[in-house]
Amino acid sequence: MLMLALAANAFHQAALIALVPVLQHLFGVSLVALGALVGLGLLAAALAIPVWGRVAASGGLDRALRLTLTGAGAGVMMMGTGIATAAYGWLAAPHAFGLLAAGRMIYSLSAPAILPLAQSAGTVRTPKNTGTEGAALAGHIGRLNAMNGIGRLAGNALIAPLLLLGAWAPVLLPLPIYVATLMLFLRKGAEASPASRISQKAETGAHRMGWRPLAGPLALGFTLQLATGAAYMLLGPVIAQRLSLSPAAAASAAGLCLAVSVATGIAVQLGLETIIGPRLQAGRVAGAFLCAAGLGLLTLADSLPLLALAAALTAAGFSVTLGANTALTLAAEGISAANRALVSTRLSSLQFAGLAAGSLAGGVLGSISLDMALAVLACATALTAVTIPIVTRFSRSSGPAPQLPLPDLTAAAPAHTPHKGASK
């Protein structure tokens, strides 16, 4: 159900973007107002996600997930209600838009944290960077990210039939999934044993990792999101310029290239454990170079097949890099289960910030020169791939000493032989 909630989150985001022309007509607002609403939502998400990491570290992961699911459900309900009241004339358009905006902010403050919290739920029994534990964690993260891609594809594919029911239908569709997942978490919390609650609270006093040891992974996530977000935003104008297409035809071609990139990302994420295995550091660097190669090909491509191939390479490199980056960081020695939620949410926060910065950078650089903008993004990604191992090594050496893991007492032999008839 948590995987379905992740897909529902991505579905909602994709459907809301596709609904922009409908919302403009329904509420009588400008594109600037809707763009500001989306931008403020991204900013709110970037600021709120680390807070949910602290909630998970102090009150437990299940509690944080219950609260984020509650906020996601409440936000979706408010947005759907605002759209429905405007469509059926139950409220004046300005009041209905206010309800939509309030729901969007509640949603942005809660729902984006579900993914990093779910990523931190992957357990690593032996905290080492090389071993099957890190590969298993990479597979866990890849499957979660793949559900995001599947939800995004579904949001784009189902928008037309759902609009036959009303503009509110695509927005309210994820609500039953959030409610069902929340009910399961509430039942799980009610059935939790007192011992598990005590051990969960005991982790509250664990040492919390600072920001400095995460400088390398945070910089990589920020840069990759900035570069790919800006490149995908410039894809439509690039196609229109190089292929001499009309705006409508360029938008259709860009949609095809983006669909290819999303499908490639899903395939890579589902096979992430097999693709990189325990070689997380090498996979992270190789993926960043592959992403830079895709952006470089996007700079030179002059046909639709080459542009689609460039988008697919960029998506493949992006998926491998971010998956390996998250897994490598969470599997690092000295990170406790409580700190894992803090680390995952900080990574996600900087990625949201990179996405917002990419939208700004793409507009600024693209207004100067589209080819120059793509070349700068490709060079920045390649430079990051070269320097990130150095930054990571330096930040770890200057950070606090890692905590030693507790010894595994379950493997010790019994001190005495059980007497005959004793139960297991």
Cα dist from 359 to 324, 356, 374, whole Å: 24, 5, 13
Highest mean pLDDT out of 62-71, 156-165, 361-370 = 62-71
Contact 66, 186 (CB under 8 A): yes
Question: Per-residue pLDDT for 130 more than 70?
Answer: no
Question: Per-residue pLDDT for 295 more than 90?
Answer: yes
In the prediction, which pLDDT does 391 show? Answer: 62
Alpha-carbon distance of 26 to 137, in angstroms, equals 45
CA angle 138, 352, 135 (to 5 degrees): 5
% of the chain at pLDDT higher than 70 = 80
Query: In terms of pLDDT, which residue wins out, 267 or 333?
Result: 267
Q: Give mean pLDDT, residues 54-80.
A: 89
**Average model confidence (pLDDT) across the chain:** 78
Q: Give mean pLDDT, residues 217-236.
A: 85
Contact 177, 4 (CB under 8 A): yes
Where does the pLDDT of residue 394 fall: very low under 50, low under 70, confident under 90, or very high at 90 and above?
Answer: low
Alpha-carbon distance of 372 to 359, in angstroms, equals 16
In the prediction, which pLDDT does 122 show? Answer: 60
Angle between helices 93-110 and 61-87 (to 10 degrees): 160
DSSP of 59-89, one letter per residue? H-HHHHHHHHHHHHHHHHHHHHHHHHHHHTT
Question: Per-residue pLDDT for 317 more than 80?
Answer: yes
Q: Give mean pLDDT, residues 154-180.
A: 85
Contact 351, 221 (CB under 8 A): yes
In the prediction, which pLDDT does 393 show? Answer: 63
Q: Is 279 exposed, middle or buried (0-12, 13-18, 19+ CB in 10 A)?
A: middle
In the prediction, which pLDDT does 75 show? Answer: 93
In the prediction, which pLDDT does 82 show? Answer: 92
In the prediction, which pLDDT does 417 show? Answer: 45
Least confident of 115-124, 221-230, 258-267, 388-397: 388-397
In the prediction, which pLDDT does 73 show? Answer: 93
Alpha-carbon distance of 348 to 52, in angstroms, equals 11
% of the chain at pLDDT higher than 90 = 17
Question: Per-residue pLDDT for 423 more than 80?
Answer: no
pLDDT tens-place string over residues 98-124: 999 999 999 999 988 888 888 777 644
Query: In terms of pLDDT, which residue wins out, 314 or 10?
Result: 314
Where does the pLDDT of residue 416 fall: very low under 50, low under 70, confident under 90, or very high at 90 and above?
Answer: very low
Q: Give mean pLDDT, residues 232-249.
A: 83
Return all residues near 59 (Cβ < 8 A) that are at least 6 apart: 204
Q: Which residue has the tokens 């409580």?
A: 338
Q: Which residue has the tokens 């890692």?
A: 402
Query: In terms of pLDDT, which residue wins out, 188 or 351?
Result: 351
pLDDT tens-place string over residues 251-292: 678 878 888 888 898 888 888 878 877 788 888 889 999 999
Contact 158, 74 (CB under 8 A): no
Where does the pLDDT of residue 57 fall: very low under 50, low under 70, confident under 90, or very high at 90 and above?
Answer: confident
pTM above 0.75, yes or no: no
Q: Give mean pLDDT, residues 147-173.
A: 83
In the prediction, which pLDDT does 143 show? Answer: 83
pLDDT tens-place string over residues 197-207: 434 444 444 45
In the prediction, which pLDDT does 415 show? Answer: 42
Least confident of 49-53, 80-84, 90-94, 419-423: 419-423
Pair of tokens at residue 179: 């409610």
Query: In terms of pLDDT, which residue wins out, 107 or 29?
Result: 107
Question: Per-residue pLDDT for 94 more than 70?
Answer: yes
Alpha-carbon distance of 33 to 136, in angstroms, equals 44
Task: Work out whether the CA dihedral 383, 323, 175, 55 comes out positive or negative.
Answer: negative
